[in-house]
Amino acid sequence: MPVHHCSILYVDDDTDDQLLVLETLAILAPNATVMVAGNGVETLAYLNGLENEDLPALIIMDINMPLLNGKETVIEIRSEPRFNSIPIVLFTTSTSRLDEQFSALYNIPFITKPATSRELERVMGQMLQLQSSSLHQQSSQ
């Protein structure tokens, strides 16, 4: 599934996961620009520094991070009206029922990080489809 040029923000403090996700997105979405932030503080600083037309088309975020975790970051992002239309996917090793309930409360997909590269490609493909669907819905409104 080719992805047209878009910007994706990947938020995770684990550098090994960052590398795996960047490599996978380079294959699945070669035209996408992927930015990386290591925690919620960096994420908010990055987003606040962008013009509206430069905001990412998708945010993929871990939950367990230092300084400002994924849930706290989602709350901050959703409290800012200009960020409300950015799709967010929680992509985490967490298996906590509370984390799943949080994602349901904010209507955000909750995806557990896979153990294999093949599964990572499948999951990343699903995320890109979510992003494409969201862009299509926004353009038809």
CA dihedral of 19, 21, 27, 28, whole degrees rounded to 10 = -170
CB-hemisphere CA count at 13 Å for 19? Answer: 3
Longest dimension (CA), the chain: 39
pTM of the shown model: 0.83
Average of pLDDT values for 3-16?
A: 83
What percentage of the chain exceeds 70 in pLDDT? 87
Whether residue 3 is predicted with pLDDT greater than 70 in this model: the reply is no
Band of pLDDT at residue 135, cut at 50, 70 and 90:
very low
CATH number belonging to domain 7-139: 3.40.50.2300
pLDDT above 50 for 118: yes
**Could you tell me whether strands 33-37 and 58-61 are parallel, antiparallel, or unpaired per DSSP bridges?**
unpaired
* Per-residue confidence (pLDDT) for residue 128, from 0 to 100: 72
**Residue 100 or residue 2, greater confidence:** 100
Task: Report the pLDDT averaged over residues 6-32.
Answer: 89
User: How many residues are given for the chain?
Assistant: 141
| Sequence ranges of the domains in the chain | 7-139
CA distances from 80 to 17, 77, 86, 91, 121 (A): 28, 6, 11, 22, 31
Is the confidence at residue 134, as pLDDT, over 60? no
Averaged pLDDT score across all residues of the chain? 84
pLDDT the model gives residue 2: 45
